[in-house]
Amino acid sequence: MADATFDWSETTQSSPKEVGMSGSDPIGEERRERYFIWKKNAPLLYDYIQTTSLLWPSLTVQWFPDLEDVADTDYQQHRLLLGSHSSGFAKCESLNLFGLKTLRETTKLVDIAADYDPLKNEFIVKRDDWHATKISLVQKIPHRGEINRARYMPQNPDLIATISNNGDLYVFDRTKKPNNYTEDEINESDDFSDIKLEFHQSEGWGLDWNRHKEGELASASSDGTVALWDLTKFKKNTCDKKPAQTTTTGVEFQKRKYKTSTLQPTETAAAHDYGVNCLEYLYFHQNLIGTVGDDKKLKIFDTRVRLNCVKEDKLSDSAINVVSFSQVNEFGCAIGTETGDISLHDLRHMEAPVKTVNKSHNGALTCASWNPENGSLLATGSSDGTVKLWDWSGGPGEELRFVHGGHMLGVNDIDWNLHDANMLVSCSDDNSVQVWKPASTIL
């Protein structure tokens, strides 16, 4: 078994106060028991696991594409994109970039199966350097409104887009922002982004960059609409004139000359009868966008013909929360529902699903992501606090490969590591961010 970096002190559950709750127990006895069993067996289940508790939970997480070797160590340096969700307790929310060290894949293999402490009823790590290197804050950018989703532009990771709880989108050039700020510098009416994208009338969860066309961004909202944005037009329209809107903040921000300009969408569409819950570009197609919503439908839009809906299928008896398109199989698509069902589809033949797992989770699906290398491996997160890995190459009843039970409240987002196809990061309502890699003997 490879090194299982594990910090037990960070795996205790957050208090009700820390997760923005008081009085009643938000976790419940069943989840506590499940967590205890998971913690007891974790060293046997993972090649690597690292957990960190944030001040506020994050609803979004994404690996940055860069990777650096840390000289004369067994570690490599990554970066993570996270947001804050304080439910109004903080003066303003923040867009957060963290540094993170993980062990190299070539780190010496050791056997920990014999290191069992019967008094603590758990396996104990005894190697000196088996301490989790905590994630460290690299940059903290103030943000207006709660951050539902944040994604960097694939062609330029320094440009970061967010969609908020009021439906507005913001684009930040992180190179033009300070590394940190104090609340004394913040005015309640200030805006901090470089570009504000205004169209949606209610909170949004759909946000994705076009990986084939630089500067193209798609968004969707619970008002049922989809919008397409072209940041290259923004550059062209503002190169010879002042921004359309300028706001300032406290004294320090005035010195830094923060300016925010507004941009309108290039195309819009009334996508779903009710809210749009998830939006994603098809991985192999630069002009096709998929959306799912409360009307239980999957729709495909073609951006070449004014966001025209070219395909529409009702795929469930309950609201569809998530959709994920395969990065290996051109026609592979998975959806997850409010009732915890997962179904796999071939976009060429939508009459019936290829495979279905009913009640795959004990709660609503909140996120899903295909493995970037293994075309049959899908990760799903749920309000039940678990992340599950599914291998669709197996027969009926053999799809479930791994259950990550390290979170005590609902999972908000997951992402596969771009440099290690078996490593994931997940974030939860319990304030935790966890980086983990199942044992090679399991996955």
Provide the CATH number for the domain around residue 298: 2.130.10.10
> Lowest-confidence range among 106-115, 270-279, 318-327?
106-115
pLDDT tens digits, 239-297:
333 433 333 344 444 444 457 889 999 999 999 999 999 999 999 999 999 999 999 99
> Lowest-confidence range among 29-43, 82-96, 144-158?
29-43
pLDDT tens digits, 332-344:
999 999 999 999 9
Quote the pLDDT of residue 126: 46
Question: Per the domain annotation, does 414 fall within a domain?
Answer: yes
Quote the pLDDT of residue 119: 63
Quote the pLDDT of residue 188: 67
Pick from 366, 398, 396, 357: nearest CA to 384: 366
Query: Is the confidence at residue 4, as pLDDT, over 90?
Result: no
d(CA 370, CA 216): 22
> Lowest-confidence range among 4-18, 107-121, 191-205?
4-18
pLDDT band at 1 (very low <50, low <70, confident <90, very high): very low
Quote the pLDDT of residue 326: 97
Quote the pLDDT of residue 25: 72
Question: Per the domain annotation, does 3 fall within a domain?
Answer: no
Question: Per the domain annotation, does 443 fall within a domain?
Answer: no
Quote the pLDDT of residue 134: 74
Quote the pLDDT of residue 258: 54
Quote the pLDDT of residue 19: 40
Quote the pLDDT of residue 270: 95
H/E segment holding residue 34: helix 29-45
Mean of pLDDT values over 130-142: 79
Query: Is the confidence at residue 221, as pLDDT, over 80?
Result: yes
Which of the pair, 105 or 164, is modelled with greater confidence? 164
Question: Per the domain annotation, does 80 fall within a domain?
Answer: yes
Question: Per the domain annotation, does 2 fall within a domain?
Answer: no
Quote the pLDDT of residue 235: 60
Question: Per the domain annotation, does 50 fall within a domain?
Answer: yes
By percentage, how much of the chain surpasses pLDDT 70?
82
| Phi, psi (degrees; rounded to nearest 5) at 184 | -65, -20
d(CA 275, CA 291): 10
Quote the pLDDT of residue 73: 84
Question: Per the domain annotation, does 353 fall within a domain?
Answer: yes
Q: What domain range is 339 assigned to?
A: 8-438
Q: Which residues pair with 427 in a beta bridge?
A: 413, 433
pTM over 0.85, yes/no: yes
Which of the pair, 106 or 61, is modelled with greater confidence? 61
d(CA 294, CA 306): 23
H/E segment holding residue 149: strand 147-153
Quote the pLDDT of residue 102: 85
Query: Is the confidence at residue 152, as pLDDT, over 80?
Result: yes
Mean of pLDDT values over 197-206: 96
Question: Per the domain annotation, does 86 fall within a domain?
Answer: yes
Query: Is the confidence at residue 135, as pLDDT, over 50?
Result: yes
Name the burial class of residue 339, with classes exposed (0-12), middle (13-18) and buried (19+) by CB atoms within 10 angstroms of its CB: middle
pLDDT tens digits, 420-440:
999 999 999 999 999 999 999
Query: Is the confidence at residue 133, as pLDDT, over 80?
Result: no
Query: Is the confidence at residue 105, as pLDDT, over 80?
Result: no
pLDDT band at 398 (very low <50, low <70, confident <90, very high): confident
Structural domains of the chain, count: 1
Classify strands 261-263 and 195-197 as parallel, antiparallel or unpaired: parallel
pLDDT band at 214 (very low <50, low <70, confident <90, very high): very high
Query: Is the confidence at residue 199, as pLDDT, over 90?
Result: yes
d(CA 4, CA 131): 9
Quote the pLDDT of residue 40: 87
Query: Is the confidence at residue 132, as pLDDT, over 70?
Result: no
> Lowest-confidence range among 6-20, 224-238, 423-437?
6-20
